[in-house]
Amino acid sequence: MSSRDRILGRVRRALAGVPRDDTPYEQAVPRDYQRRHGERSAAETVDLLAENLVDYRAVVHRCDAAGLPALIAHLLGERDSTGVLVPPGLDEAWLSATAVQQVADRADATPGELDRVDSVVTGCAVAIAETGTIVLDGSPDQGRRRVTLVPDHHICVVRVPEQVVSSVPEALERLTPAHPLTWISGPSATSDIELDRVEGVHGPRCLEVVLVSGARPARLA
């Protein structure tokens, strides 16, 4: 008998005495908790997101769709980036103003190859104002998880206000659990027992979030 069979056997024995008409779990657990804290307008929600992103040491920029290519080119230039990773579904117009070499996200790319690329530009699935969190779900404009974890500089574009929600429960309603979800609250950082902060340990050292108005949705693969 395998370990799996033994565990499932124990589960069956534990459930043997449960009445068949017992209340299902999804109905037995109350779901009447508060979904958000206070009422805010769309603009106030975006402002709260920006405030909390900055509190997590992300760098926040705002622009409209027309100014996005120039802003991205400026941010890449400030970092002296010589290469930028490009997810397959990223809007080509976003990088139209930069001369930085664009590196395609290849499935066979090694960690060493990814580490030699300075920056990555992605979209996002949703942004949560109350927690200052950006969520990626592997959609075509975001690429695979590792392309946002290996390069040292991540530029993440958030369409406002449509991609911004107030709370985690509201974000979960927009996400698919089967997708590879990456939740980002500021640049990668950790602290030792003496609270010495070290950045870039398990992700990018620099996170720049662009809140862009009037940008069209990403194209599907």
Residue 14 lies inside a defined structural domain of this protein: no
How far is it, in rounded angstroms, from Cα 121 to Cα 54?
19
Residue 24 lies inside a defined structural domain of this protein: no
pLDDT on residue 198? 65
pLDDT digit string (tens) for 43-65?
A: 999 999 999 999 999 999 999 99
Taking a C-beta distance cutoff of 8 angstroms, is the pair 209, 173 a contact?
A: no
Taking a C-beta distance cutoff of 8 angstroms, is the pair 66, 215 a contact?
A: no
Taking a C-beta distance cutoff of 8 angstroms, is the pair 218, 90 a contact?
A: yes
Residue 185 lies inside a defined structural domain of this protein: yes
Residue 52 lies inside a defined structural domain of this protein: yes
pLDDT on residue 12? 87
Calculate Rg over the CA atoms of the chain: 21
pLDDT on residue 16? 83
**Does a cis peptide bond (omega within 30 degrees of 0) precede residue 161?**
yes
* Phi then psi dihedrals of residue 208, to 5 deg: -115, 125
Q: What is the DSSP letter of 127?
A: E
Q: What is the DSSP letter of 146?
A: G
Tally the C-alpha atoms within 13 A of residue 167's C-alpha that lie toward its C-beta: 10
How far is it, in rounded angstroms, from Cα 132 to Cα 51?
8
Residue 32 lies inside a defined structural domain of this protein: no
How far is it, in rounded angstroms, from Cα 126 to Cα 123?
9
* Phi then psi dihedrals of residue 29, to 5 deg: -90, 120
How far is it, in rounded angstroms, from Cα 134 to Cα 209?
9
CATH code of residue 191 = 3.40.50.10420
pLDDT on residue 26? 73
**79: containing domain:** 40-213
One pLDDT digit (tens) per residue for the chain, 221 residues: 899 999 999 988 888 877 777 777 777 777 777 788 888 999 999 999 999 999 999 999 999 999 999 999 999 999 999 999 999 999 999 999 999 999 998 888 888 899 999 999 999 999 999 999 999 999 999 999 999 989 999 999 999 999 999 999 999 999 999 999 999 998 766 666 666 666 656 678 899 999 999 877 765 54
pLDDT digit string (tens) for 18-35?
A: 777 777 777 777 777 778
Residue 82 lies inside a defined structural domain of this protein: yes
Sign of CA dihedral 124, 165, 59, 181: negative
How far is it, in rounded angstroms, from Cα 175 to Cα 125?
8
Total tally of structural domains belonging to the chain: 1
Which residues make Cβ contacts (< 8 Å) with residue 98, sequence separation at least 6?
69, 72, 73, 76, 77, 84
Residue 25 lies inside a defined structural domain of this protein: no
Residue 26 lies inside a defined structural domain of this protein: no
